[in-house]
C-alpha cells in the first residue's frame, strides 16, 4: 500500500518549481517528468536551512518502478513525498519557460532585482 500511496502522491505533484511545507519548514521543490512519463526526478531544498530531498524514479518495462534516492534513504524520500504539502499560491514554473530570479522571491524582493538581458537568460 505504501507504494500505491507514493505513486498517488507523485501523480499529484505539479511539474516544475513549487514551494511547500514539510515538517513545519518551507522547501523549494523542483519536479520533472519525462515526456513518456517513465522517468521522474525531484529535488527539494529547505529554504531557510540545509535539508534536502532528492531522487529519481524509473518505470521499468515490467511495469515496476525503481526508486533511486540521491545520497539519502528511500524512507526519507517517501516521508518527504507523502508528508509535504505544496502551496497552491506558488504555481509551478512550466519546464519550457525560463524562470527569473525574481520568480523565486516575494513581490517586494522582486522589485529590487534587475533581470539579465534577454540574450543572457537560460
Q: What does the DSSP assignment read for 48-112?
A: TSS-EEEEEEEE-TTS-EEEEESSS-HHHHHHHHHH-EE-TTSPPPPTTS---GGGGS-HHHHTT
Q: Are 55 and 42 in contact (CB under 8 A)?
A: yes
Q: CA–CA separation, 93 vs 2, rounded Å? A: 29
What is this structure's pTM?
0.70
Q: Kindly give the confidence (pLDDT) of every residue in the chain, 122 residues in length, as a single tens digit, with 9 standing for 90 and above.
A: 367 888 889 888 999 999 999 999 999 999 999 999 899 999 999 999 999 999 999 999 998 889 999 999 999 999 999 999 988 544 444 444 444 444 444 444 444 445 455 554 44
Q: Which of helix, strand or coil describes residue 3?
A: helix
CB atoms within 10 A of CB 2: 8
Amino acid at each position: 500500500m505504501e507504494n500505491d500511496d507514493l505513486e498517488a502522491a507523485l501523480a499529484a505533484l505539479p511539474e516544475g518549481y513549487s514551494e511547500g511545507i514539510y515538517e513545519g519548514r518551507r522547501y523549494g521543490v523542483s519536479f520533472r517528468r519525462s515526456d513518456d512519463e517513465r522517468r521522474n526526478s525531484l529535488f527539494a531544498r529547505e529554504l531557510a536551512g540545509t535539508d534536502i530531498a532528492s531522487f529519481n524514479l524509473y518505470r521499468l518495462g515490467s511495469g515496476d518502478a525503481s526508486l533511486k534516492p540521491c545520497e539519502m534513504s528511500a524512507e526519507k524520500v517517501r516521508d518527504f513525498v507523502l508528508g509535504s504539502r505544496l502551496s497552491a499560491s506558488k504555481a509551478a514554473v512550466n519546464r519550457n519557460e525560463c524562470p527569473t530570479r525574481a520568480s523565486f522571491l516575494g513581490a517586494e524582493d522582486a522589485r529590487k532585482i534587475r533581470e539579465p538581458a534577454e540574450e543572457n537568460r537560460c
